Amino acid sequence: MAEVDYDTELRRYATVLRQAWSVRPTDRVLDIGCGAGTTTRDAARLAFDGSALGIDLVAPAPADLPNLTFVQGDAQTYPFPTAAFDLAISRFGTMFFADPVSAFANIARSLRPGGRLVMLVWQAYEHNAWSTSLHGALGTSPLQSAFSLGDPALTTLLLSSAGFVDVRFTDVAEPVYYGPSVTAALTWVRRFAAVRHLDEAALEGALDRLREMLAAHLGDDGVWFDARAWLVTARR
């Protein structure tokens, strides 16, 4: 049985994001909230005469390309060199800042004049069945910060306040993948914070509801959930 991970779940979004980067061979790329570093590695391969730096609160795997670097830290406060990057990218890694204006101002300072920001953020909760279905089955409320950049007007104001211009939003409607079967999808879902934080009694009561919810989204090619995101681009 194929094991699901974050990269597998978001594989259709990865394609959208790579196309939007337009990474040049000499670009210096900053990847915000890089997770295990897959997107950073993708950028490093495209910027083969440049560089890619990935930052995340959790330490990624060791760098395995000569132009690739990972650091463990908070992009909100990390002391990036001024005007050190041509492009800042993020795959759903920018929604959780405690002080988003300060965080995006810090990212803006790290970009050269004219440098670009390209990121994916989730649209509103009600447009994302992967969240509404899960929390409906659990009877819980979502982590609202996951959708904190879903309002284009508010996000434009935030980015403008941080020093960005020419802020644009592109609607991206691609499903997310939870596995080839209900069993695989349930194994993946049990790794989510909303499920991990349940006590033993609550989890036991929720498992049948989760299986039923996942089965309702099972098709010939696995378990998929509708999702909506914004591809956000801006310039320094």
Residue 77 has pLDDT above 80, yes or no: yes
Domain holding 182, by residue range, is 6-235
Give Cβ neighbours of residue 28 (< 8 Å, ≥ 6 apart).
47, 50, 51, 52, 53, 84, 85, 86, 87
User: Has residue 60 been placed in a domain?
Assistant: yes
- How many structural domains does the chain have? 1
Can you give the pLDDT at residue 2? Answer: 62
| Tens-place pLDDT, residues 22-73 | 999 999 999 999 999 999 999 999 999 999 999 999 988 888 999 999 999 9
User: Has residue 1 been placed in a domain?
Assistant: no
Q: Average pLDDT in the 163-167 region?
A: 98
Q: Highest mean pLDDT range out of 1-15, 42-56, 195-209? A: 42-56
Q: Average pLDDT in the 146-172 region?
A: 97
Let me know: does 17 contact 229? Beta carbons within 8 Å.
no
Instruction: Count the neighbouring beta carbons within 10 Å of the beta carbon of residue 77.
Output: 13
In this prediction, what percent of the chain has a pLDDT beyond 90?
Answer: 89
| Tens-place pLDDT, residues 102-156 | 999 999 999 999 999 999 999 999 999 999 999 999 988 888 899 999 999 999 9
Can you give the pLDDT at residue 205? Answer: 85
Let me know: does 59 contact 72? Beta carbons within 8 Å.
yes
CA quadruple 33, 189, 141, 233: dihedral positive or negative? positive
CA distance 209 to 215: 10
Q: Residue 87: which CATH number?
A: 3.40.50.150
User: Has residue 109 been placed in a domain?
Assistant: yes
Q: Average pLDDT in the 16-23 region?
A: 96
176 confidence band (pLDDT: 50, 70, 90): very high
Instruction: Using alpha carbons only, give the angle 212, 217, 221 rounded to the nearest 5 degrees.
Output: 130
Predicted TM-score (pTM) of the model is 0.94
Residue 1 has pLDDT above 60, yes or no: no
| Tens-place pLDDT, residues 135-147 | 999 988 888 899 9
